[in-house]
Structure 1
Amino acid sequence: MQDKNILFEELMDKYISGSITDGEKISLFALIEESDLYRKQYHEMVKLYALLHIPAFESRKETGYVHLKERLHLTTLGISRRRWFVYARNIAAVLLLMVTVSVGSIFTYNELDKSGDQLYNETTVPLGSQTKVLLPDGSTVVLNSGSVLKYPLSYGKKERNVYLVGEGYFEVAKDKEKAFQVYAGDMTVKVTGTEFNLRYYLEDQSTEVSLIDGGVDVFANNKYVRLKPDEKAIYNRNTGDLYSETADSYKSALWTTGRLSFVNASFLDILKDIERKYNIKIHVDSQKVTNEYFSGSIDLNMSLQEVFNFIDVDKKYRFEQSGGVITLRDK
């Protein structure tokens, strides 16, 4: 048992630092599945792992990890069960501090499904933030504001399945033996290795997939489309229709660079994106807005007032703020 403890701690050390190999990942997840204790330990460590991949910490994740180990007096030698609880408690305290001071914080935790048989990692991105998640197979997902991504602890063993609500930009590691599948409500996107942007916010009427590189298969409501680069699939959740069209797909992922791009988008849909990005509530008291459509892009580094000035170039509207609510009215 002592040998297994040492092996688990060494593998977790490599997992956190990002130096773990594919073979070592398999050994690590085998240990986690066979022991409730290892699951609990992983539950705490994965929080640290997720935070170290937040963009705000990306450039200093290695030094931050070393400093944290030194602060907690950790070595790669065995940690007794009693010492583990002190270790986990200290990590929780450090994580709380990091979440408090980080604008781009995310929340990651494990949960059992309703049957109690499957354990998931889940990442939730607060409004006004975005973050990057590194999956065990090397695939990456950049999550937009107000998004939730989860995947089973067994990810990569037999299947590579993830579940998304919100928006994510995916760079999928190639593995022809194990297809990568994203479940977004009634839509399923299946790939082997590619880059694409998937948008599935519950308040929107449609789910959209824009393909940047490679190929994807899209399934929804017993319908199917195959996408090529610079095509996007649109699933209308009200009518059940699924169709594809040509698009400048790179624009769909501009939000990852701090820009909001839109092509013939309704003013109301643009306001929804602004709500998420700036973590505000916009109340619309206007008849004109419903007939307004725009094409262009917005620099999200601008202030909220600058964004409104940019959109309302003809000065048709008034933006009145009261607390955390902005009301849009006709002039």
Structure 2
Amino acid sequence: MKTQHHIDQLILNYLEGGLSREERHELEVWLREDAANQSYLEEMQAVWIAAETELQITDDVIGQEWEKLEKRHFSKPGNTFNWQRWAKIAAIFLLGALFSWGISSYQMNSYFAELEESVIEAPMGAKSTITLPDGSTVILNAGSVLKYAGDFGKNIREVSLEGEAFFEVAQDKSKRFQVRTSDITVKAYGTKFNVKSYGDERTIETTLVEGSVSIVKNNRQKSKKEELFLKPHEQLVFYKASEEIEPVEAVTPEAAQPEQTVERKPEKILISKGIDPQLFTSWTEDRLIMKSEPMQKMVIKIERKYNVKIHFEDADLKDFRFSGIIENETLENVLAAISIASPIDYTLKDRDVWLRKKKEEKNKN
């Protein structure tokens, strides 16, 4: 349970414009718990604005009023603050009626707008283009979600991403632009780059087109963060830690059920140099470029682009490699092209596609 001391500290950090991402989340949760919490923050906000713009109070008077406030709210041992930081709030006892200062409703509720989070989604089968408040442009790929706080750009420029997006960042050396994913954060230095971080994929890819970016692993222990920098035409692939369960054939006839083994795959990072960025950004121009790409990875791109579900009737087709360019084609044309260029046949029904070996291929086996 959060103490009043902790809540007031969050409010102070908010009023000073210094909330961290975690603190912002805590404050949002607390505000939703009870309408009285919102009223309390409204009062603190109103007093803060009034004292900042209207009041002329000496330090001696504020010190006396602070003692009253401290006895009222922070009487428990250890619950002490630096009263100078709370000087404006201490003035609450001098205001009489909070709203007699004529604080506008806009000022009273400005914190709500700052705490609200903007959420942009690109549905399956479509892309979305967004211009952020700082002028940066983001293209969201199908099945992706981008989020940013209402006070984006006030202290930091940070967005969170699940899915894939291409960023063209507006330069502002005083406020670093950051893209936060599930496991890593990409810091931009005025640049163009692509980030792919779908929740159902083990890898997170950062591909740099222009400028410079750095990548750090999300870690609460700041001292352990290592910043890796990329140059244009370089790509960093972060492999998430995973556990895969694989069945093992029974070694004795007495075994009623097959045994299982868990293969633990650790995190790892791979940096590739001299890559062709178009292979990873062509989706922004409604093109898919495949260069000896396994069918298992290729169908994921097709599923997102055309909003379909693809099933393999023959599992070994997943390893078949395909090269080619898909550009402004219908789904039927794409499937027909795959069938012509490979030993694959297909059936399309509604939003489902089934892939199988052609009969002549099966007869060979």
Gaps of 5+ in 1: 1-33, 36-80, 82-111
1:135 maps onto 2:132 in alignment = yes
* Distance (whole Å) between structure 1 residues aligned to residue 195 and residue 297 of structure 2: 16
C-alpha displacement of 1:298: 1.3
- TM-score, length of structure 2 as denominator length: 0.56
SS at match of 2:159: strand
Equivalent residue, structure 1, for 2:289? 261
* Distance (whole Å) between structure 1 residues aligned to residue 147 and residue 232 of structure 2: 26
Equivalent residue, structure 1, for 2:312? 284
1:164 maps onto 2:148 in alignment = no
1:219 maps onto 2:200 in alignment = no
Equivalent residue, structure 1, for 2:238? 235
**Are residues 193 and 261 of structure 1, via their aligned partners in 2, closer, same or farther at CA, if it must alter by over 3 Å?**
same
Whether the 8 Å CA contact 2:121–2:128 is kept in 1: the answer is no
C-alpha displacement of 1:322: 2.8
> 1:57-72 maps to which residues of 2 (within 5 A)?
none
Query: Relative to structure 2, which stretch is displaced further, 207-216 or 220-229?
Result: 220-229
Q: Which amino acid aligns with 2:272?
A: E
Equivalent residue, structure 2, for 1:153? 150
SS at match of 1:288: helix
C-alpha displacement of 1:205: 2.0
Cα shift readout 1:59-99 (whole Å, capped 9, x = no counterpart): xxxxxxxxxxxxxxxxxxxxxx9xxxxxxxxxxxxxxxxxx
SS at match of 1:308: helix
What percentage of aligned pairs have identical amino acids? 35
C-alpha displacement of 1:208: 0.5
Q: Which amino acid aligns with 2:208?
A: L
Equivalent residue, structure 1, for 2:64? none
Partner residue of 1:313 out of 321, 340, 345: 340
SS at match of 2:299: helix
SS at match of 1:142: strand
Partner residue of 1:304 out of 331, 335, 341: 331
* Distance (whole Å) between structure 1 residues aligned to residue 240 and residue 227 of structure 2: 15
Cα shift readout 1:248-303 (whole Å, capped 9, x = no counterpart): 1133211111101233422111101101111111111113323222333211x211
* Distance (whole Å) between structure 2 residues aligned to residue 228 and residue 176 of structure 1: 18
Structure 1: 4+ residue segments shifted above 6 A: none
**Are residues 250 and 323 of structure 1, via their aligned partners in 2, closer, same or farther at CA, if it must alter by over 3 Å?**
closer
Whether the 8 Å CA contact 1:216–1:227 is kept in 2: the answer is yes
Partner residue of 2:178 out of 147, 161, 181: 181
* Distance (whole Å) between structure 2 residues aligned to residue 152 and residue 117 of structure 1: 7
C-alpha displacement of 1:330: 1.5
1:191 maps onto 2:170 in alignment = no
Cα shift readout 1:189-240 (whole Å, capped 9, x = no counterpart): 0012100011111122211011000000012365542100000110111431
Query: Relative to structure 2, which stretch is displaced further, 270-279 or 231-240?
Result: 231-240
**Are residues 184 and 263 of structure 1, via their aligned partners in 2, closer, same or farther at CA, if it must alter by over 3 Å?**
farther
* Distance (whole Å) between structure 1 residues aligned to residue 322 and residue 356 of structure 2: 18
Whether the 8 Å CA contact 1:168–1:199 is kept in 2: the answer is yes
> 1:32-111 maps to which residues of 2 (within 5 A)?
none
- Aligned residue pairs total 219
Whether the 8 Å CA contact 1:288–1:330 is kept in 2: the answer is no
RMSD after superposition? 2.2
Cα shift readout 1:139-182 (whole Å, capped 9, x = no counterpart): 01011111100100010010000001111010000111111000
**Are residues 160 and 298 of structure 1, via their aligned partners in 2, closer, same or farther at CA, if it must alter by over 3 Å?**
same
Whether the 8 Å CA contact 2:339–2:345 is kept in 1: the answer is no
| Structure of higher CA gyration radius | 2
